């Protein structure tokens, strides 16, 4: 009887061990395959991503990129290189005056003309310069000198400038600064650490034949009228 009980215990233990081993093997088989499949799928996805990325990158790098061209602008150096020189015929022009009437340089042949370019109407320096020329009208007329002031201001503002300062000579509007460029008076300027393109303060003295006899690159707004008279007296 005791022997039978011992045999049963051994058999039970053996069965448990075999069952345990079998369950482990089955578990391994069951879980190993799905894990492997999941891992394979992940690897496959990564490979696909890499290949796709490489293809896209290749397309991007091999694709011809057309550079965007910046709009052509004339540099100050190019514009200034066109400044008419002494002995040249003054470039002809036709511009509206402060009253909206068209004025042509050609109509002043037979008289001396000072064509002066100034940055902006009703600013301090430009006001001093304009008022000095206006106050010297009698002396300028005696020397047969006609004054033509040119700026990029609109006609309306020129009229306000004339009326406010009681000016007595012709102011011309060159809003697209074409004439200013033709005379090389449009270029790079500096003011309070800022650089910008604008009208350079310059004056061109033209004789009765329409020839430039002097170019004033540096203008003193306070003595401009006197300087113009003296130069015409000396060279005219």
pLDDT at 81 over 50: yes
Name the nearest CA neighbour of 118 among 79, 80, 171, 82.
171
What the block records as the tokens of 144 is 């047969």
Confidence band of 83 (pLDDT split at 50, 70, 90): confident
- What's the rounded Cα separation, in Å, for the pair 222 and 214? 19
Residues 6+ apart with CB under 8 A from 204: 84, 90, 114, 115, 116, 183, 212, 214, 215, 216
Q: pTM of this prediction?
A: 0.67
**DSSP H or E run through 17:** helix 2-62
pLDDT > 70 in the chain, percent = 65
* Strand pairing report for 145-151 and 112-117: parallel
What is the pLDDT, as a whole number, of residue 220?
97
- What's the rounded Cα separation, in Å, for the pair 155 and 166? 16
To the query of whether residue 131 is one of the catalytic residues in this protein, the response is no
What the block records as the tokens of 176 is 């697209």
- What's the rounded Cα separation, in Å, for the pair 2 and 21? 29
* From 115, 126, 200, 205, active-site residue: 126
What is the pLDDT, as a whole number, of residue 191?
74
Neighbours of 84 (CB within 10 A): 18
Confidence band of 195 (pLDDT split at 50, 70, 90): confident
pLDDT at 149 over 60: yes
pLDDT at 61 over 50: no
Confidence band of 24 (pLDDT split at 50, 70, 90): low
Q: Does domain 76-235 fall into CATH 3.40.50.12780? A: no
Name the nearest CA neighbour of 109 among 212, 204, 209, 236.
209
pLDDT > 90 in the chain, percent = 60
Q: What share of the chain is helix, strand, coil (3-state, %, to 5)?
A: 50, 20, 30
Q: What pairs with residue 211 in β-bridges? A: 89
The domain ranges of the chain are: 1-65, 76-235
- What's the rounded Cα separation, in Å, for the pair 114 and 231? 11
DSSP assignment, residue 97? B
Q: How far is CA 215 from CA 28, 86, 112, 121, in A?
A: 101, 7, 14, 22
């Amino acid at each position: 009887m005791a022997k039978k009980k011992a045999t049963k215990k051994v058999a039970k233990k053996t069965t448990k061990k075999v069952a345990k081993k079998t369950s482990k093997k089955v578990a391994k088989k069951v879980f190993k395959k799905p894990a492997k499949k999941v891992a394979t799928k992940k690897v496959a996805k990564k490979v696909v991503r890499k290949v796709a990325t490489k293809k896209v990158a290749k397309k991007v790098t091999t694709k011809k990129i057309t550079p965007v061209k910046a709009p052509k602008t004339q540099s100050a150096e190019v514009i200034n290189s066109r400044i008419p020189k002494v002995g040249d015929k003054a470039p002809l022009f036709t511009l509206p005056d402060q009253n909206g009437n068209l004025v042509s340089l050609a109509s002043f042949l037979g008289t001396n003309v000072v064509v002066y370019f100034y940055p902006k109407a009703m600013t301090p320096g430009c006001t001093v310069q304009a008022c000095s020329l206006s106050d010297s009208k009698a002396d300028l007329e005696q020397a047969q000198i006609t004054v033509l002031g040119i700026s990029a201001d609109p006609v309306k503002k020129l009229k306000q400038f004339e009326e406010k300062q009681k000016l007595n000579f012709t102011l011309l509007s060159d809003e697209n600064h074409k004439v200013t460029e033709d005379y090389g008076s449009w270029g790079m300027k500096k003011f309070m650490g800022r650089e910008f393109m604008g009208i350079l303060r310059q004056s061109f003295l033209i004789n009765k034949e329409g020839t430039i006899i002097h170019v004033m690159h540096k203008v003193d707004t306070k003595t401009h009228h006197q300087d113009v008279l003296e130069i015409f007296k000396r060279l005219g």
